[in-house]
Structure 1
Amino acid sequence: MQELQEKPADLFAAAMADFRAGNRVQAASICRRILAKTAAHAGANHLLGVVQLLDGDPVSAESHIRASLAVTPNAEAETDLSLALRRQNRLDEAEAALRRAIALDPQFALARKSLARLLPERGDLAGAEAEFRAALALDPNDAEMHFHFGRMLTQQARHADALAAFERAVALHPSWAEASNSLGSAFGELNRRDEAETAFRRALALRPRFAEALCNLGTLLFDSRRFDEAQTVLRAALEVNPDFASACFTLGKTLNHLGRSEEAIEAYRRTVKLTPDAAGAQNALGALLAEAGSFTEAEGLLRRAVELNPGFAAAHTNLGSLLQDTNRPAEAEPHLRTALELAPDNWIAAHNLTNLLRNVRRFDEAEAIARRALALKPNSADSYIGLANVLVGKASGDLSEALNLYRKAIALDPDSLMAHANLCYALTFVSFDGRDVFEEIVPVLVFVSAPVDEATPSATELAVVACA
């Protein structure tokens, strides 16, 4: 720098030129030379503060930007001050600075954009929405603002509004993979699966190793019951990010549906290790281990799931079922009742509670729950068998309803040995010559002397709960 350029105005012009050219070190050096002669130079203080902010020193940046504002209040400097304060986690002061900036210049879009991004952190979603809309009115072609607006709307479960924001972001910035991925998520939330898949695949075409998009696509394929495809995509997500807990969890669910329970257990174990405080993973692993007969380990996991989330109906159902399986009805009953309180349409909990109450000979309570289970799942043979077993157990003398229930179960599932066997048993109480009993025995080649119990849900039913 030549001596004849030592005038503050010339030096500041040179500093700005260096800054715009990306030479921050030289720009800062010139600003310090200016401030050595003119400590109150607003432009040099502001520019030096911006450089310090970009270099990761928000404390020094704050000092210089405040010195600039003391001389010349302006919206741009207040906006930069807010960023320095935000990086120090001083959100109250950051918000105040942005509001001063907007008061100074209501048309300064950057201040409104910054305030829109800040207010959700302050819990002011209504204020944030107003600022997003004001900022986008000033700069309607800002793809990033449309994107972040969509993200905020998604957090409020306003998926239709979020979809419109993401569509605009993608239209403005077609090569932005994150925007296409978020658009896919919005389509998925609205159950527009074909469009969601298209958006996810577009994101992956733009960035093939995009773990989040791979996970989202894999989850969509799982929800669409395209399990083989889902498995491939989820494994690809885990190749990119081996610690991606969501991908690992969904892979576990996928493998479970493919009947590969041992691999599913390993995927769930990995998920639990990655997210030890996630009740869903604890429940899923516990449910599969219970099905495999590893009751002690399963019980610990299911108790942990309930501890982590006392309102988790599926975990209460699975824990209650396990306690019932291990002959602890007094411990099982509260969990099954809690599951029904939390999820009144929980058929597995109702079905298992029916059998528990029947086994302890509380037949009137069992009948009430059995009728509730039948109302929840009227097309299930097991619902009819459960109620019929209770009515037979009551030994009230009139077995006509129970016999009809067994026959309805057989009509729904002609191959149900349990329904045939229990019908045979019930017929022995009302048959005059045994012929009708014999006719029922012949089709299934089975004879029983007592009802077949059905105290626990099948492996398939537990798997459904595990995936809840």
Structure 2
Amino acid sequence: MRIFTLQTDVGHVILAVAPASGMERRRADFSLAQLLALYYFTHRRSDVARFPAFKPHPGSSSRGFIFLTRKLRLRYMKTVLPVTLMCWISLTLSGCANKALERGQYAYNSGDFETAIEEFSHLTSSEGLFYTACAYYRNGDDANALAYFEQAEAHIDPSKEEFWHALITPYKIRIYLNQADEYAEQGNYSEVLNLAKKAVALDPHHKDANRYLTAAYVELNMADEAKNQLERMTQTDSDNPQWYELLAEFYNRTHEYDKAVASYQKVMELRPNDAKIREKLAKAYLAQGNCEAAIPILKELIDLNPFSISTLFDLANCEQRQGDYQSAIAHYTAITNIAPMNGKAWQGIGASATWLEEYDQAITAYQKAIQSDPTDKISHYQLAHLYLHQNQLADALNAVSEAISIDNTYKEAYQLMGNIYRKMGDAEKAAEAFEKAESL
């Protein structure tokens, strides 16, 4: 036997084995070569073995094929197919594959993923399978994308395994999490748990994968597993703030606010300039009831973004709880400057002004709140209180009646109505109102 080694101009090495004797370089029928190349390219490599003349070497790839030649008795040519023909077939296949790759890439970049899938599907290398998977993924077909990514992994050259896994793993994780998201919408957290575990197995430090895993544990009432997992991550990856952040979120969900504060403080140590974490820490302080600690952080956040309504609300509410009513009014007013029809802010101004005994300001504020939301029973009720305090009994009765018309089970409103009638000297109606309040 003689082994012929040919180096092509595209860098592919083709080996052919033929009998040492009787090898004649005669003119070959290249139409047969074209037919074989087309057959291979159309039916994929696995079907070529069925053709009696050719057998792919087990170690061959889609870009450089090793063929073992037999004596081919052609209809008009009784000789051994020359090595030249073998080289021509390999180059033809390689050229077809390259053209399919180019056409597929063009379609992919143009957003024509259906065409890209069709072109890439002719490629059987790990690269071709990877491109096919990407096209399916971009086309929204996660199931086929995952199948092709797994096929690509099965065809990976061991020497390039790390490179290909680095490319494929993020896609597989996204697919698992997309599927987990769909199951979460259906409330099927058992499947979410399974998919999240697969994603975490691919990348144990993936934030979203661990978030889904934790959420699944929580929804399935597996709180210990969620807590243990996150606490384990804070120990094994202690310089990574994301685990402390996730753990803090978990503690918030379980109303363990002291632990949530401690976890957010750890995140702040690792990411001192993260405004979002500052906001979360402030909210944890608020949930803890620690306005004194929350206020300095909230003021810093306001300096960074003076137009954040939620932060202004938190700060004003804290100041109101602390008895700093003037500051509270200032920050509630800042909200109304941004959003003039914000009823909650007007309510806050009304409440703070009432504490300061600025009754005219309070009445105006509650009237503004009612303008922004006529169904605001609390503002009607508070307005009735203020009118009663100023002895404007008719206005007080109208305001409390509005509150009751909005909610006829409003016990406090009936009690206030009774007080108004009693002050008006109508004992019978006062008794009716008090009796109604007692029945609720």
Aligned counterparts of 1:28 and 1:139: Cα–Cα separation in 2:
38
SS of the counterpart of 2:323?
coil
Query: Which residue of 1 is the match for residue 204 of structure 2?
Result: 73
Matches within 5 A, 1:31-430: 31-38=142-149, 43-52=170-179, 57=185, 59=188, 61-76=192-207, 77-84=209-216, 94-271=226-403, 280-292=412-424, 293=427, 294-304=429-439
Q: Percent identity of the aligned residues?
A: 17
Determine the C-alpha separation between the residues in 2 that align with 1:142 and 1:285. Answer: 51
Q: 2:344, 2:369 within 8 Å by CA — same for their partners in 1?
A: yes
Using a 3 Å threshold, how does the CA distance of structure 1 residues 65 and 249 change in structure 2: closer, same or farther? Answer: same
1:194–1:99: structure 2 CA closer, same or farther, 3 Å change rule?
Answer: same
The one-letter code of the counterpart of 1:134 is: K
- Structure 1 residues 103 and 189, CA gap change in structure 2 (3 angstroms): same
Amino acid at match of 1:33: N
Question: Do the aligned partners of 2:268 and 2:277 also contact (CA within 8 Å) in 1?
Answer: yes
- Alignment length (residue pairs): 295
In 2: Cα distance, 1:255 partner to 1:11 partner: 74
Asked if the contact 2:325/2:355 (under 8 Å) is kept, the reply is no
Kindly indicate whether the alpha-carbon contact (under 8 Å) linking 1:79 and 1:111 is maintained by their aligned counterparts in 2: no
Kept after mapping to 2: 8 A contact 1:285/1:298: yes
TM-aligned CA deviation for residue 186 of structure 1: 1.6
In structure 1, what is the Cα distance between the partners aligned to 2:139 and 2:222?
A: 25
CA RMSD of aligned residues (A): 3.6
Q: Is the 8 A contact 1:35 1:45 kept in 2?
A: yes
CA shift in 2, pair 1:7/1:211, >3 Å = farther
Q: Distance in 2 between matches of 1:150 and 1:62?
A: 31
CA apart distance, 1:151: 3.2
Task: Check 1:189–1:285 CA distance in 2 against 1; reply closer, same or farther (3 A cut).
Answer: same
In structure 1, distance between residues paired with 2:236 and 2:138: 27
Q: Alpha-carbon deviation of 1:238? A: 2.9
Query: Which residue pairs with 1:334 in the alignment?
Result: none
**Residue deviations 1:203-259, cap 9 Å, x none?**
222233323222212221222223333223223223333444443332232232333
Give the 3 Å change call, closer, same or farther, for CA 48–195 of structure 1 in structure 2: same
TM-aligned CA distance change 1:171 to 1:222, over 3 Å: same
Deviation at 1:129, TM superposition (A): 1.5
1:127, CA displacement in angstroms? Answer: 1.0
- CA distance in 1 between counterparts of 2:129 and 2:390 reads 74
Query: AA paired with 2:195?
Result: H
Structure 1 residue runs of 5 or longer lacking an equivalent are 16-25, 306-468
Query: 2: distance between equivalents of 1:88 and 1:111?
Result: 21
How many Å separate the matches in 1 of 2:217 and 2:343?
33
Secondary structure (helix, strand or coil) at the match of 2:238 reads: coil
Quickly say closer, same or farther: Cα 1:279–1:298, change in 2 above 3 A. closer
Structure 2, gaps ≥5 residues long: 1-112, 154-167
- In proportion to residue count, which structure has more helix? 1
Q: Which residue of 2 aligns with 1:338?
A: none
Instruction: Give the 3-state SS of the residue equivalent to 1:29 in structure 2.
Output: coil
- C-alpha separation in 1, matches of 2:328 and 2:146: 56
Does structure 1 retain, via aligned residues, the 8 Å contact 2:417–2:430?
Answer: no
* Secondary structure of the structure 2 residue equivalent to 1:112: helix
Contact 1:132 1:145 in 2 (8 A): yes
Residue 101 of structure 1 and its aligned partner are, at CA, apart by 4.1
Give the Cα–Cα distance (whole angstroms) in 1 for the partners of residues 399 and 140 of structure 2: 55
Partners of 2:217 and 2:138 in 1: how far apart?
23
Following superposition, the deviation at residue 161 of structure 1 comes to 1.3
Cα distance in 1 between the residues matched to 2:141 and 2:238: 32
Aligned partner of 1:324 in structure 2 is none
- Change in Cα spacing, 1:170 to 1:93, as seen in structure 2 (3 Å) is farther
Supply the AA of the counterpart residue of 1:122. Answer: T
Distance 2:222 2:383 in 1: 41
Query: Shift of residue 175 of structure 1?
Result: 2.1
SS, match of residue 46 in structure 1 = helix
Cα offset, 1:170, TM superposition:
1.6
1:196 CA displacement? 1.7
Q: CA deviation at 1:191?
A: 2.3
The question of whether the paired residues in 2 share the 8 Å contact of 1:115 and 1:131 is answered with yes
Q: Cα distance, 1:130 vs. partner?
A: 0.7
Kindly provide the CA deviation profile for residues 135-170 of structure 1, in whole angstroms up to 9, marking residues without a partner as x. 222233333433343333334432211212211222
- TM-score (normalised: structure 1): 0.53
Q: What is the distance in 2 between the residues matched to 1:258 and 1:81? A: 59
Whole-Å separation in 2 of the counterparts to 1:185 and 1:84: 34
**Bigger relative contact order (CA 8 A; separation at least 6):** 1
- Does the aligned pair in 1 maintain the 2:180–2:195 contact within 8 Å? no
Retained in 2: the 8 A contact 1:78–1:100?
no
Is 2:418–2:431's contact at 8 Å kept on the other side of the alignment?
A: no
Once the two structures are TM-superposed, the CA of residue 201 in structure 1 deviates from its matched residue by 1.6
